[in-house]
Amino acid sequence: MALQPSLRRALVIAGSYDAPHTLDIFLDYVCPFSAKLSLTIESVLRPFFDKGGKYEGKVKVIFRNQVQPWHASSTWVHEAGLAVARVSPENFWAFSLALFKRQGEFFDIPTSTLTPTQVRQKLAALSAEVIGANSKDAVLDLITLKTSPNGGVDVTDDLKYTIKFSRQNGIHVSPTVLWDGLVANEISSSWGEKEWTEFLEKKVLV
């Protein structure tokens, strides 16, 4: 699957971009099932695909931001992820894991009494814990409204790209996983090492 060049360094979270097989994994930062799968990506898939792994050079994992607008904060959390992808692409996945682990702070009820600006400030503060305090202002600047009254933020174009990609491929919910461009409905957020091992043994042919 294609990936906008400016996002390639950040969103390829395991394996190398030129690997012949692709796992596109659509995740929403405020989805509990996405959070569950994120831990499996870290503990099972990355060791398989990164340097020294059984499938090194054969499979890559692309993180696909899946905004789910029935959660009001979904847009804001994904803006923050894309801001980190610009400011510190090498730390995008680490920030994503941190956000998944603390996603409860950004659920519907905890954010219902906060303004969008306050939520964005909380996200920038979280980014500082991962990428350093010196980068906090840069992240906050990218997710701050400061242009026309309806012009979005500095990562709005990146957000539009991720949303349009999901829409044109008929992705509706998270997590959704594609193997080499086709939806793999059998994959579950409950899968562990056993299930992934069996799946990859059948699918990785080169």
Q: Specify the CATH number for the domain of residue 45.
A: 3.40.30.10
pLDDT digits (tens, 9 = 90+) for 21-36: 999 999 999 999 999 9
Predicted pLDDT at 56: 97
Query: How many separate domains does the chain show?
Result: 1
- Asked if residue 1 has pLDDT above 70, the reply is no
* % of the chain surpassing 90 pLDDT: 96
- Asked if residue 162 has pLDDT above 70, the reply is yes
Spatial separation of the C-alpha atoms in residues 110 and 135, rounded to whole Å: 26
Average pLDDT estimate for 167-190: 97
- Asked if residue 80 has pLDDT above 70, the reply is yes
Q: What range defines the domain where residue 174 resides?
A: 5-203
What the block records as the tokens of 162 is 């991720």
- Asked if residue 2 has pLDDT above 90, the reply is no
Query: Longest Cα pair distance anywhere in the chain, in angstroms?
Result: 52
3-class SS letters over the chain:
CCCCHHHHHHHEEECCCCCCEEEEEEECCCCHHHHHHHHHHHHHHHHHHCCCCCCCCCEEEEEEECCCCCCCCHHHHHHHHHHHHHHCHHHHHHHHHHHHHCHHHHCHHHHCCCCHHHHHHHHHHHHHHHHCHHHHHHHHHHCCCCCCCCCCCCCHHHHHHHHHHHHHCCCCCCCEEEECCEECCCCCCCCCHHHHHHHHHHHCCC
Measured from the Cβ of residue 203, the count of other Cβ atoms closer than 10 Å reads 15
Predicted pLDDT at 54: 97
Average pLDDT estimate for 4-32: 96
Amino acid identity of residue 30, one-letter, is V
Predicted pLDDT at 205: 86
Contacts of 152 (CB under 8 A, 6+ apart): 145, 159
